[in-house]
């Protein structure tokens, strides 16, 4: 005996293999809440990025050391020239203490020295005594306290009694402030009626001290009869 059962048709139920969905009554979290929940995970990465950005900004805006340039190159060519000139120097009281004139003057900026052709010099000491000098060429330092006379040089000064002392040579080193004359080369000194030839000399006008270097030769003339 056979029995047949007829069941009614049932609706199809879909099967999902993923995680279970939220219950229909549970709302989805807001975006700012989700951001707060994710922030702890990304915070170290953000801090590293900020640190790198700050390091780059400091490196870019840090003051750079100034490039030290070498000493300026001073030209050896004269920076100014004068023709038929007169140069005078005065003391603090306004009194003339030195006068240099000549045919031509050139200033060397590298050494701050002047070179004069056909030089004529007049130096006045504190006591008013006058020393004059001439030479075909002269070289002086910046304040003209030292003047080197070259070629046909002659220095003439007066001692305390008013007697003239004349020094001649091819090279004389004149110190206009201290009123001294020196030379390592042959010189001729004339004092009154006496003439001395020497291999060099040191002369200090304020103290009237004359040191001559040998060999020497002196020409002594008898004093004039009264």
Residue 96 lies in a domain: yes
Helices (H) and strands (E) in the chain, counts: 1, 12
Range of the domain at 172: 80-220
Q: What DSSP character marks residue 114?
A: E
Interior CA angle at 150 toward 145 and 151, to 5°? 150
**Residue 153, pLDDT score:** 96
* CATH code of residue 120: 2.60.450.10
User: Nearest 5°: CA angle at 217, between 210 and 226?
Assistant: 75
3-state secondary structure (DSSP) of residue 91: coil
Residue 113's nearest CA partner among 95, 137, 135 is 137
Bridge partners, residue 164, by sequence: 158
Per-residue CA distances from 16 to 27, 157, 172, 210 (Å)? 21, 129, 121, 129
Query: Any idea how long the chain is?
Result: 226
Least confident of 28-32, 54-58, 115-119, 175-179: 28-32
pLDDT at 136: 96
Statement: residue 193 has pLDDT above 70: yes
Report yes or no on 110 lying in a domain.
yes
Does 50 map to a domain?
Answer: no
CA dihedral 11, 14, 15, 21 (to 10 degrees): -120
Q: Kindly report which listed range (22-31, 141-150, 160-169) carries the lowest average pLDDT score.
A: 22-31
Q: How confident is the model at residue 1 (pLDDT cuts 50, 70, 90)?
A: very low
**CA atoms within a 13 Å half-sphere pointing along the CA-CB vector of 83:** 0
The stretch 40-52 carries a mean pLDDT of 74
- Confidence class for position 5, pLDDT limits 50, 70, 90: very low
Q: What is the mean pLDDT of residues 43-48?
A: 74
Domain count, the chain: 1
- From first CA to last CA, the distance across the chain in angstroms is 197
CA distance 154 to 185: 13
Spatial separation of the C-alpha atoms in residues 185 and 169, rounded to whole Å: 7
Return the pLDDT at 11.
Answer: 53
Percent pLDDT > 70 in the chain is 72
* Average pLDDT of the chain, as a whole number: 80
């Amino acid at each position: 005996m056979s029995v047949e059962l007829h069941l009614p048709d049932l609706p199809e139920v879909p099967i999902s293999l993923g995680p279970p969905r939220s219950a229909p009554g549970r709302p989805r979290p807001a975006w700012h809440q989700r951001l707060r929940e994710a922030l702890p995970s990304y915070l170290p990465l953000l801090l590293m990025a900020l640190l790198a950005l700050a390091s780059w900004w400091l490196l870019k805006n840090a003051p750079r050391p100034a490039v030290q340039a070498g000493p300026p190159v001073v030209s050896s060519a004269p920076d100014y020239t004068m023709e038929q000139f007169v140069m005078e120097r005065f003391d603090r009281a306004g009194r003339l203490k030195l006068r240099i004139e000549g045919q031509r003057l050139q200033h060397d900026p590298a050494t701050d020295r002047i070179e004069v052709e056909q030089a004529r010099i007049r130096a006045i000491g504190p006591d008013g005594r006058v020393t004059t000098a001439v030479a075909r060429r002269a070289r002086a330092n910046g304040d003209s306290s030292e003047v080197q006379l070259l070629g046909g040089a002659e220095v003439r000064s007066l001692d305390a009694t008013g007697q003239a002392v004349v020094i001649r040579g091819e090279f004389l080193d004149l110190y206009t402030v201290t009123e001294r004359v020196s030379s390592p080369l042959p010189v001729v000194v004339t004092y009154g009626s006496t003439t001395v030839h020497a291999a060099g000399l040191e002369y200090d006008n304020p103290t009237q001290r004359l040191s001559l270097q040998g060999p020497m030769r002196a020409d002594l003339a008898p004093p004039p009869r009264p």
